[in-house]
Every structure is written in C-alpha cells, then in structure tokens.
Amino acid sequence: MNGKLYASIGPFSWVSLSFTRRQMIVLFTDYGLAGPYTGQVRAVLHRDAPGEAVIDLFADLPPFDAKRAAYLLVAYAAGFPAGTVFLCVVDPGVGGDRAPVAGVVDGRWFVGPDNGIFEHVVRRASSRPIWTRIAYRPDRVSATFHGRDVFAPVAARLAQGLSVPGEREFEGLGRFADWPDDLTEIVYVDHFGNAITGCRAASIPRHTSIIAGGQRIFFARTFSAVQKGQVFCYENANGLLEFAVNQGRADTVLGLSVGSSFILDPNVSGNTSAGG
C-alpha cells in the first residue's frame, strides 16, 4: 500500500507522512512482561487499532529511569521506518504535573510523558520536531496508569491517521540540557549479561583507553574475534558502546549494573582491537 498518511497533532494542524506499509506501534516501557501491565496496554491497542502490528521493543527498561531510557530510545528508534508510532512509558510522575505529549520527530511519532524520555530524540533530530500536549481523556482514566488509559488510545489513533485533541504546536516540552550527549554509564543489561552504555561508539576515538570494572577493556569487532571468556567492548547493532564477554556475562565479570560508570581517557592510548 502506497500513499500519504495525514495525521493531526491538534485541532487545525495536520502533518503529512509518506508510507509504504501498515504502521507499527512500538512499545518502549518499564512495565515488564510478567504481570498484567503490558498485556493491558496491548489489549487497548488491539481494541482501538486491531489491524496494526504491535512490537515489544523494550518492556524491561530500568524502572522509573527516564534519563537512561532516553539514550536507548534515540539509538533504537533510528532503525524503524517513517510512520512508526512509539508508545514510550517510563513514568514515575504519572498523575502529577508532567504533561502527556505526542510529537512527530523525523517522520516518526512519539507518545508518552514529558519527563525527559524524548530529550535525545529531539536533540538529534534532523528536522524541527512538532509536539502537542495531549488533551484526550477517556470517560474513565486511572491516576496511575496513563499508559493504558491515555497513551495507548492516542498511539492507536495516530497509527490509523486519526486526530488527537491537544494544544497545537505545543512549545513547552521539557528540556534537560545538563544531560550529556553521550553518557558514560551503563543504561541497560541484556539477557546475556551484555552491558549497554549511553555512549555512541562512533564518538570514541579509536585509541581511547576504556576502563570498566577496574579493567582496561579492548575493542573487538564481534564475539568470534576474541577467545571464549574474554572481556571486550564493541559497537553494538544500534551504534552504542557495549561491554561483553564471549560466551559469558560482562555484568558478572566486571561487576556492572545499570548506573555503573566507566572511564574514557583520550590521553592514554593503546586501546587496539582485540583479536587483531
């Protein structure tokens, strides 16, 4: 299917997005897959947008941590096509003063709380983002579950090209200028024990000394370039610096967890690639 998707971000404002496929709704949350929360959100999406694909990208983001989620969102969103709707909920301030927002950034929709989770998506945008403060409210809305009651219905509407009531051209999106462009901390530990950082690998000069868990870590291109059990770091599939152990767990070997910091010392050379 080819054509244009016209989606409203306010009562009189429309944004045109080219598309060549059905739209995807991508879940990016700290809800977890155990328990009812992700299932309840998916149920609303199925009810309101039954023909749209729903993708579980992250359900296990660091709880309550919009800052670290922001570094993951900008890295992983880049791999999705224009027209994708990201439903992003890491929302410790739910029910409080933070605004519910929806915006178009480089052709993709982002829906969620205005609490910094979109900071790096906005900061690295190649075109001017357009945001609306969501005014949509169902007849019954929980004070503690806006992901289900506000954000999911809005994401479903956007995926279908429908309008969302809100303040047009909302300019009050919170900004977090003190958050660095690249974060020298662990922002996520995956199923294998690999420790993903908030730092783009391309931003690190090749001969920078990298120290994590008290060890100097060497670059390798991939797992098979090093011996079994060897610690290394590499540019992961989404462009972030990642610490790993070939057929082992970097989090255990290096004592890393979300929030652990590491050192980049450009004044100390010698970080040649492991394995040649």
Lowest mean pLDDT among 87-96, 110-119, 122-131, 247-256: 122-131
Identify the band that residue 14 occupies on the pLDDT scale cut at 50, 70 and 90. very low
pLDDT above 70 as % of the chain: 86
Q: Which 3 state secondary structure label does DSSP give 234?
A: strand
pLDDT recorded at residue 95: 94
pLDDT band, very low/low/confident/very high, at 273 (cuts 50, 70, 90) = low
pLDDT, mean of residues 140-151 = 96
Q: What is the pLDDT of residue 10?
A: 47
State yes or no: pLDDT of 107 exceeds 80: yes
Read off the pLDDT band of 272 (50, 70, 90): low
Q: Calculate mean pLDDT across residues 25-38.
A: 97
Please give the pLDDT value at position 12: 35
Residue 223: phi and psi, rounded to 5, are -60, -40
State the Cα–Cα distance between residues 254 and 245, nearest whole angstrom: 9
Task: Identify the pLDDT of residue 5.
Answer: 42
Residue 11 has pLDDT above 90, yes or no: no
Question: Which residues in 156-180 are b (16+ Cβ under 10 Å) and which e?
Answer: bbbbbbebbebbeebeebeebeebe
Query: Is the pLDDT confidence value at 153 over 60?
Result: yes
- Listed in sequence order, the residues at least 6 apart from 176 whose beta carbon sits closer than 8 Å to its beta carbon are 67, 70, 116, 119
- The chain-wide mean pLDDT, for the chain, equals 89
- Rounded mean pLDDT, 232-248: 98
Task: Give the pLDDT band (50/70/90) at residue 168.
Answer: low
pTM beyond 0.85:
yes
**pLDDT above 90: residue 202:** yes
The 3-state DSSP class for residue 144 equals: coil
The first and second tokens of residue 7, run together, are 């989606």
pLDDT band at 206 (very low <50, low <70, confident <90, very high): confident
Edge-first strand order for the sheet with 231-235 is: 183-189, 195-200, 240-245, 231-235
Average pLDDT over residues 205-229: 94
